Amino acid sequence: MKYGWQLYDQPGDARILSLGGAQVAQGKSISSVLVNPANDAFAVRDDFSYAHQSRFGGTVQHDLLAFSVNRGFARPINIVILQEYVGGIPNTVDGLMDWGADGIPGTQDAGEGNGVLDEGERLDADKITNFHQQQWGLYVSTTWKMNDWTVGAGVKGLFHSIDTHYANGIGFNVGARRNLWKTISVGAAVSDVTTSWLVWDNGTTERALPVLMAGLAGDFTVPLMNWPSSFFTDIVFDLNGEFVGDQFSSGSYRVGLELAPKPSVRIRTGLSETSELTGGLGIVKENWIIDYTYKPSPSGSSLGSSHILTFTVSPRWIFGLLGVSY
């Protein structure tokens, strides 16, 4: 079982998700360390970033807070706090009127007492209750130089509660990246490198096997339009299985494209490893950034679309407005 760790699946802010999550080789936002901890050295410094996701038509609410701590440490420390909440989940365990096809108790007809909602049976609305699921995550990473490579390592914790049950877990990520030329970079990362464990209060243990990732990214200029642009490509080998199935996944791809038609405007699109097409916009200013991403409802489902909004701000600028030294 691996699904308790899904808080860290397809992680990041609006910029990352609009690019399909393809940030192994190049990450410019603080929370890109969730994809590759080696991105730490390349992320924006001294900024605070807050992201909110409303997924599947508002069913899932997800929040992210990311910031760097550079003072007093020999190496930069990146911190990401994650929270996800799903409320109003119906609990129908005690609500089944398991009386069989005739709908009359005690006749011992077909389907009576089998614990399955059969034709002719119904649920007792007065016995249906609701519960919620909530997850909290804390991710801390740092980087260092090793010849021409920047190497990163991250530790992540997880607290997961479902109704009255709860679980705790810990895991580790590692990664590396480097510039091949002035405009081309490569990277590699391993999530859950030692296998991550999640232990529930009833003794059930979930484990997440390593996920191997490699990426290529580069900067270029769109011909004729003279727009500065960037491309991102990752290949993902998930040893857990093919995301929602239990079969070994031989490899999936994610890609992203970012265009800058104006110095302060970004247009983005991407394709995630689950074949979700995404699109987004960004407004980039000297002291603040606003990013937005739209993800349509998964094909063939009625789950609803998802919206992600990220605010990034320089605390130095905020303190300056307040007349306080930073």
In a domain, 15, yes or no: yes
Alpha-carbon distances of 94 from 122, 128, 132, 157, rounded to whole Å: 12, 7, 17, 34
Highest-confidence range of 41-55, 87-101, 158-172, 299-313, by mean pLDDT?
Answer: 158-172
DSSP letter (8 states) at residue 32: G
182 lies in the same domain as 284: yes
**Which domain-ending residue is among 71, 101, 127?**
127
User: Quick check: helix, strand or coil at residue 323?
Assistant: coil
197 lies in the same domain as 78: yes
In a domain, 326, yes or no: no
141-164 pLDDT, tens digit per residue, is: 999 999 999 999 999 999 999 888
Least-confidence region, from 54-63, 95-104, 193-202, 291-300: 95-104
pTM for the model stands at: 0.84
Confirm if 242 and 29 have CB atoms less than 8 A apart.
Answer: no
Q: Buried (b) or exposed (e) across 250-275, using 16+ Cβ within 10 A?
A: eebebbbbbebeeeeebbbbbbbbee
Q: Is the pLDDT of residue 318 over 60?
A: yes
User: Quick check: helix, strand or coil at residue 111?
Assistant: coil
**Which domain-ending residue is among 79, 103, 127?**
127
pLDDT at 308: 92
Q: Buried (b) or exposed (e) across 119-155, using 16+ Cβ within 10 A?
A: ebbeeeeeeeeeeeebbebebbbbbeeeeebbbbbbe
pLDDT at 236: 93
Confirm if 216 and 10 have CB atoms less than 8 A apart.
Answer: no
Q: Is the pLDDT of residue 169 over 80?
A: yes
**Which domain-ending residue is among 79, 111, 127?**
127
The radius of gyration computed from the CA coordinates of the chain, to the nearest angstrom, equals 23
pLDDT at 243: 47
- What is the Cα–Cα distance from 291 to 312, expressed in whole angstroms? 8
80 lies in the same domain as 138: yes
Across residues 97-111, what is the average pLDDT? 70
Using CA atoms of 20, 34, 84, 300 in order, give the dihedral in degrees to the nearest 10. Answer: 20
- What is the Cα–Cα distance from 159 to 7, expressed in whole angstroms? 10
Mean pLDDT rounded to a whole number for the chain: 85
22 lies in the same domain as 81: yes
CATH of the domain at 35: 2.40.160.60
110 lies in the same domain as 240: no
HSE-up of residue 48 (Cα within 13 Å, Cβ side): 10
Confidence of residue 201 (pLDDT cuts 50, 70, 90): very high
**β-bridge mates for residue 181, sequence order:** none
- What is the Cα–Cα distance from 100 to 251, expressed in whole angstroms? 47
Pick the more confident residue, 261 or 245: 261
Structural domain for 115, as ranges: 93-127
**β-bridge mates for residue 68, sequence order:** 78
Residue 182, phi-psi category: left (phi > 0), alpha (psi -120 to 50), beta (remainder): alpha
Across residues 112-128, what is the average pLDDT? 71
In a domain, 272, yes or no: yes
268-306 pLDDT, tens digit per residue, is: 999 988 888 999 999 999 899 999 999 887 766 666 788
Q: Is the pLDDT of residue 188 over 90?
A: yes
pLDDT at 244: 40
In a domain, 224, yes or no: yes
Q: Is the pLDDT of residue 167 over 70?
A: yes
- State the total domains in the chain: 2
Helix (H) or strand (E) holding 318: helix 315-321
pLDDT at 24: 96
In a domain, 282, yes or no: yes
Confirm if 231 and 217 have CB atoms less than 8 A apart.
Answer: yes
In a domain, 145, yes or no: yes
- What is the Cα–Cα distance from 245 to 247, expressed in whole angstroms? 6
- What is the Cα–Cα distance from 188 to 279, expressed in whole angstroms? 25
Share of residues in the chain with pLDDT > 90 (%): 51
Closest C-alpha to 270, from 281, 282, 291, 254: 254
Across residues 243-254, what is the average pLDDT? 58
